Structure 1
């Protein structure tokens, strides 16, 4: 159930139908196998590229859609969630909302031709590597270092929990280029996966999002040409801070879409299942549970839609993105908890979608910046008012 959303027009609805057919044809039949293998097929990116599902915000000269309308990004995420493909969201939206904005906004003409156009077409896969074993939400604490050596940087360090890390051909890596400058000494480098000294392990064995390729990366004296510097030297932290709101909104949209699917399955189960001679939904306690979460979902959708419009107008700020990320992902946990409880013992069986939703949902409050960090961002803004 959901009210009529008014933020989309006919172009968006046509795009939604394209994504829906794509998900039903090219994703849903393979989810089980990909979950067992811990990664999707490379061909998925090529198929998505041919349909224009990658790089909607990238200029047409590089094969993109040429629009900054985030509503298209949101539709892609929503339809993947609707198809039960939450673990594939990061594969495709990971490029659109994490990798592409850095390359498009900071890349030189040569860098865009070398990396951006192949990624938009799906021939090349990209990733971004920020998190380290001892530096998660605190990006200022990263220790992967890049020392200057003539025309190159020499990179040493580790990154962990990197989405698309195994399949990635090129990774945007946050490195320390001025150890004395703290956050002001971080830069971004484009590092090709075939560079000598660059090693990967994985896919990592996660609790949920099993089809999402997640890796640990190692850099041992990796020589990177200085022409691979993305943006200005020692400006990486400000670039990260500028782009993280879109990533966090994407996480919120994914949680929103997934919890709606979970709710509908729980409602259907409550209608179909009987106990003590009546349907589960005829029991007042169950109706109240469903009424409560249905109301919260509707309220959350209104706020998400406002944030989507702000992102489309390039006016989404980090505080609103933080609010959306922490609130929606926490609501997602509550919805899944109620849905599992409503299913009883069947909710604990992996063949039921609600059980997998339970496992997939937990990461939402952690990645993209832990929700405690989101509250800190909001709190600091309030302290300045």
Structure 2
């Protein structure tokens, strides 16, 4: 074997020294601190998030692309590379980092008051506080405008009622950013507001969701609000429309573009190594034409996808990235990664269904990654709208 999958495009030559250094630091952390345990975490459907968060904070990856308040302030490309290395271990781990930094922290950083930023962001960047982001509901996933969670003004306070579903980190979160529908803004349209909830607030509970077949090394739950009363100082003052949560979702989708390819790369590297040592008819499995055809096709798809991710990252760093371009990346990366991990599993045969090898674990996780932060179908429609000028959502 003369090269690695990304070696065909000399990917490292496209990065600067700082980007390579940050990527290598995250990869080394993953090898030392995460990889030896991920099989057990997945099998036992657990994640020692409280123990991992301070280590991730020390590494500097929590909110790493945000400026100030204890955040590292790295480039978008550097953040993407970190997501790739973390998801090369497991999608559940990258989800933890993304929810913390690109959803909960980003919402406060982008839409919060100065007091809110100073109060929450340094502790979240250090991993002292774990955050979650409550937008999705049992009956409002792809259509957040129809959320049923309501926030009613009562003097200087708000009363929140509703339920959020499939919320990463919620059962263990110290801080929850929750979105709710508010009274008419005066133009005949409803308003929307984001609120910061603290663990222990009266009327706020977060039961855990069990028996998952995907993202098992991730803590997932609900957010239940029952006459939860909050002061107006806990409302995010910077936005009163769906622009607030949708902007946050685009941040998280950007990380997925890179992260999913990390899972695909790891699965492909595993398949290459396995087929080179597995003997079939007195020959290495890698010596057969069908095996090489599969490996070649997967390498080409991975390399094309990584180049797309890098271009999207460069556009983001230049301040030129549009939401429909994020959709192109998220749709492509998740579909390609899922196809690669499934194909890699076939090359491992029966061994591929065990936790000794990563491809099927990655594939199970990517079934969720394909769907969350916008389903594949929704991203197709976002791209279609940009191409045709026609709204096909309704």
Query: Partners of 2:378 and 2:108 in 1: how far apart?
Result: 26
Query: Partners of 1:44 and 1:107 in 2: how far apart?
Result: 26
Query: Partners of 2:381 and 2:213 in 1: how far apart?
Result: 27
- Residue 381 of structure 2 is aligned to residue 381 of structure 1: no
Query: Partners of 1:306 and 1:366 in 2: how far apart?
Result: 23
- Matched residue of 2:73: which SS? coil
- Matched residue of 1:329: which SS? helix
4+ runs deviating over 4 angstroms: 179-184
Query: Partners of 1:22 and 1:271 in 2: how far apart?
Result: 27
- Residue 213 of structure 2 is aligned to residue 220 of structure 1: no
Equivalent of 1:282 in 287, 302, 312: 287
Change (3 A) 1:66 1:355: closer
Q: Once the 2 structures are TM-superposed, how far is the Cα of residue 156 of structure 1 from its aligned partner?
A: 0.5
Residue 209 of structure 1 is matched in structure 2 by: 215
Q: Once the 2 structures are TM-superposed, how far is the Cα of residue 381 of structure 1 from its aligned partner?
A: 0.7
Question: For this pair of structures, how many residues does the alignment match?
Answer: 381
Equivalent of 2:197 in 182, 185, 191: 191
Q: Which runs of 5+ in 2 are unaligned?
A: none
Query: Partners of 2:303 and 2:269 in 1: how far apart?
Result: 13
Equivalent of 1:172 in 158, 177, 180: 177
- Residue 342 of structure 2 is aligned to residue 334 of structure 1: no
Residue 253 of structure 2 is matched in structure 1 by: 248
Change (3 A) 1:233 1:66: closer
Residue 39 of structure 1 is matched in structure 2 by: 47
- Matched residue of 2:195: which SS? strand
Query: Partners of 1:21 and 1:277 in 2: how far apart?
Result: 36
Report if aligned partners of 2:171, 2:206 keep a CA contact under 8 Å in 1. Answer: yes
Q: Which runs of 5+ in 1 are unaligned?
A: none
Deviations 1:259-302 (A, max 9, x none): 01101111222222122333222222222122211111111111
Q: Once the 2 structures are TM-superposed, how far is the Cα of residue 43 of structure 1 from its aligned partner?
A: 2.4
TM-score where L is the length of structure 1: 0.93
Q: Once the 2 structures are TM-superposed, how far is the Cα of residue 233 of structure 1 from its aligned partner?
A: 5.7
Deviations 1:188-225 (A, max 9, x none): 11111210111111143321221111111110000011
Q: Once the 2 structures are TM-superposed, how far is the Cα of residue 53 of structure 1 from its aligned partner?
A: 2.2
- Residue 29 of structure 2 is aligned to residue 22 of structure 1: yes
Change (3 A) 1:328 1:17: closer
Query: Partners of 1:85 and 1:365 in 2: how far apart?
Result: 14
- Matched residue of 2:93: which SS? helix
Alignment RMSD (CA, Å): 2.0
